[in-house]
Chains A and B, each alone.
Chain A
Amino acid sequence: MSYVFFPGCSLEGTARDFHQSTMAVADALGLALPEIPDWICCGSTAAHQSDPLLALALPAKSLAAAGGKTVVACCAACYSRLKTANHEISKNAATRRKVAEALGHDYDGKTPVAHLLEVLVRDVGLAAIAARVKRPLEGLKVACYYGCLLSRPPEVTNFDDPENPMLMDAVCKAAGATPLDWPHKTECCGASYSITDPGIVLDLTREILAMARIAGADCIVTACPLCQLNLDMRQKDIEAKFGEAYGLPIFYFTQLLGLAMGLAPKTLGLKSLVVDPMPLLAANGVV
């Protein structure tokens, strides 16, 4: 199958390590991920809170430029906006017409969209991934954190079970790690309120970190730039405000998978993580 990549804005900024580790892993697995030429921002929360047509037209513009190939996204928010645009445009002729007027051309809402986790599990296959693992992450207890927008609403994303998704758990297991059964897989981290109302983010990320620790996790694994940044960068603020130090490394799933595949840490952007993962990785014999 051939794909085109929609990195999304975060992967060019705060989540450059997600971009780097995605490319490293894709390369090693023989997945070609050329970018959609001149893709533009999906509009994110700002667009859907402000203008419903803009919220569909922005992703539709990039989807229409995909040449009919499957669009792969890494950011859960981009994924959600791309999927929502397809859902609304393909099911409603009036919406399709309005979007066409905004774009200046028709778009049918049928460009397939997949998250990288879906590509890894459904297209590449867990057996093929396991076959590439050189340094299984034995003994590493991971809490897979999916956040909101990969699995919700299921009618739109059709990603996995909305209450207990398992795709990331399956990838981590193929990498030799031990994914934990824990209840906060799809709780919200507060996302972009990190800037406008950080109190919300501190409360919500604190709950997630606390639950991961109670579940016995060595680290949290994420699939979204906002989840990762909030859980990683806000640990210091949580310590200052609540006097609770978690010290939990927050990885992207591509970073852990890359390590298990024997890729060099520097090709996986581990230095960009705020909570230093090296002591944990060294203690587990990964690096």
Chain B
Amino acid sequence: MNQQSHLAAEFTRRVLDLREADFAAEVERASGANLAACLQCGKCSSGCPVSARSSLRPHVLVRLVQLGQRDEVLASRFIWECTSCQTCTTRCPQKVDIAAMNDALRRMSREAAKVFGETTVPVFNDIFLRTIRRLGRMYEMGLMTSYKLRTGRLMADVDKFPMMLAKGKLALLPKKVRGAAERKKLFENVRRAGGKKP
């Protein structure tokens, strides 16, 4: 079988596999992105700031989702390298919201426990959101300390701290924001809406 007919056969097999096709529908539901509209023109990938360094590119990722490649997509490094810059979404001639798709894929990757091993983005996001729930606003010193402890990256950017302190770029103490009970309730309500225990 030559390469082309091999690909055609593979394509048919995948499209006909309903269980795999479910994945595309699931991503579409979770993101609101109309992935079936993608023409594979590659405009998203030519503007993507991390295309050059990444193993995948946005239009390839869309194709993999269409083809139901759940494991490859959810375990990919690319979804944790996407900077959410919205260039793909802005330039897509078919109005496919690829940035929203990536948000959905990151959530699905975490739920399926498939997160690419070397990324620390989920740890960072969790600490960030916990800080907001507790304090109402970001507290950079606390965020950095927790992040370093959780990831073991103790020495990363330590040279920046004295400089940032000297230049008044770091608040030593968090600001006090009223409404702690209301905030707690908001986070609980959101968790409940997502079907999780508040």
Q: Taking beta carbons and an 8 Å cutoff, which residues of A are in contact with B?
A: 9-10, 12-17, 38-41, 43-54, 57-58, 61, 98, 101-104, 148-149, 152-154, 162, 186-188, 190-193, 195-200, 203-204, 229, 233, 269, 271-274
* Contact assessment for A152 and B89 in the assembled complex, using a CB-CB cutoff below 8 Å: yes
List chain B residues, Cβ under 8 A from A149.
Answer: 85-86
* Contact assessment for B189 and A102 in the assembled complex, using a CB-CB cutoff below 8 Å: yes
- Answer whether A51 and B137 are a contact pair too, CB < 8 Å, given A153-B90, A188-B85: no
List chain B residues, Cβ under 8 A from A272.
Answer: 167-169
- Answer whether A48 and B84 are a contact pair too, CB < 8 Å, given A9-B137, A14-B164, A152-B90: yes
List chain B residues, Cβ under 8 A from A153.
Answer: 86, 89-90, 99
List chain A residues, Cβ under 8 A from B138.
Answer: 9-10, 13, 41, 44
Given A53-B190, A103-B186, A271-B168, 13 extra CB contacts under 8 A = A17-B168, A41-B137, A57-B186, A102-B190, A149-B85, A152-B90, A153-B89, A188-B49, A195-B144, A196-B120, A199-B53, A203-B53, A204-B49
Among B5-13, B17-25, B67-75, B174-182, the stretch in contact with A: B174-182
Residue of B whose beta carbon sits closest to that of A77: B84
* Contact assessment for B194 and A40 in the assembled complex, using a CB-CB cutoff below 8 Å: no
List chain B residues, Cβ under 8 A from A52.
Answer: 103
Q: What is the number of contacts between chain A and chain B, taking CB atoms within 8 Å?
A: 159
Cross-chain pairs A/B with CB under 8 angstroms, 6 sampled: A16-B168, A38-B177, A104-B186, A149-B86, A190-B49, A272-B169
* Contact assessment for B124 and A195 in the assembled complex, using a CB-CB cutoff below 8 Å: yes
The answer for the CA separation of A192 and B134 in the assembled complex, in Å, is 21
Which one of A38, A148, A200, A274 contacts B53 once the chains associate, using CB atoms below 8 Å?
A200
List chain A residues, Cβ under 8 A from B124.
Answer: 46, 192, 195-196
- Answer whether A54 and B106 are a contact pair too, CB < 8 Å, given A195-B147, A196-B119, A274-B163: no
List chain B residues, Cβ under 8 A from A50.
Answer: 106-107, 125-126, 129
* Contact assessment for A196 and B169 in the assembled complex, using a CB-CB cutoff below 8 Å: no
* Contact assessment for B168 and A101 in the assembled complex, using a CB-CB cutoff below 8 Å: no
State the main secondary structure of chain A at its contact with B: helix
**B26 interfacial by beta-carbon distance below 8 Å:** no
Please tell me the size bucket of the interface on B.
35 or more
The answer for the CA separation of A216 and B124 in the assembled complex, in Å, is 37
**B50 interfacial by beta-carbon distance below 8 Å:** yes
* Contact assessment for A162 and B136 in the assembled complex, using a CB-CB cutoff below 8 Å: no
The answer for the CA separation of A166 and B120 in the assembled complex, in Å, is 36
The answer for the CA separation of A44 and B99 in the assembled complex, in Å, is 14
Closest beta carbon of chain B to A157's beta carbon, Å: 9
The answer for the CA separation of A17 and B138 in the assembled complex, in Å, is 17
* Contact assessment for A162 and B167 in the assembled complex, using a CB-CB cutoff below 8 Å: no
The answer for the CA separation of A98 and B193 in the assembled complex, in Å, is 8
The answer for the CA separation of A17 and B164 in the assembled complex, in Å, is 12
Residue of A whose beta carbon sits closest to that of B92: A153
Most buried by B among A187, A193, A229: A193
- Answer whether A191 and B183 are a contact pair too, CB < 8 Å, given A41-B138, A53-B194, A196-B124: no
The answer for the CA separation of A149 and B83 in the assembled complex, in Å, is 11
* Contact assessment for B187 and A196 in the assembled complex, using a CB-CB cutoff below 8 Å: no
**B87 interfacial by beta-carbon distance below 8 Å:** yes
Taken residue by residue from 52 to 88, chain B's Cβ proximity to chain A (1 for < 8 Å, 0 otherwise) reads as: 0100000000000000000000000000110111110
Residue of B whose beta carbon sits closest to that of A207: B49
Residue of A whose beta carbon sits closest to that of B164: A14
**B132 interfacial by beta-carbon distance below 8 Å:** yes
**B41 interfacial by beta-carbon distance below 8 Å:** no
**B121 interfacial by beta-carbon distance below 8 Å:** yes
The answer for the CA separation of A98 and B190 in the assembled complex, in Å, is 9
Within 8 A of A (CB), among B153-198: 156-157, 160, 163-164, 167-171, 175, 177-179, 182-183, 185-187, 189-190, 193-194
Which one of A49, A101, A203 contacts B106 once the chains associate, using CB atoms below 8 Å?
A49
* Contact assessment for B132 and A41 in the assembled complex, using a CB-CB cutoff below 8 Å: yes
Closest beta carbon of chain B to A2's beta carbon, Å: 23
List chain A residues, Cβ under 8 A from B125.
Answer: 45-46, 49-50
Closest beta carbon of chain A to B131's beta carbon, Å: 8
Closest beta carbon of chain B to A127's beta carbon, Å: 32
* Contact assessment for B85 and A57 in the assembled complex, using a CB-CB cutoff below 8 Å: no
Residue of B whose beta carbon sits closest to that of A194: B157
List chain B residues, Cβ under 8 A from A101.
Answer: 189, 193
Which one of B83, B144, B160 contacts A190 once the chains associate, using CB atoms below 8 Å?
B83
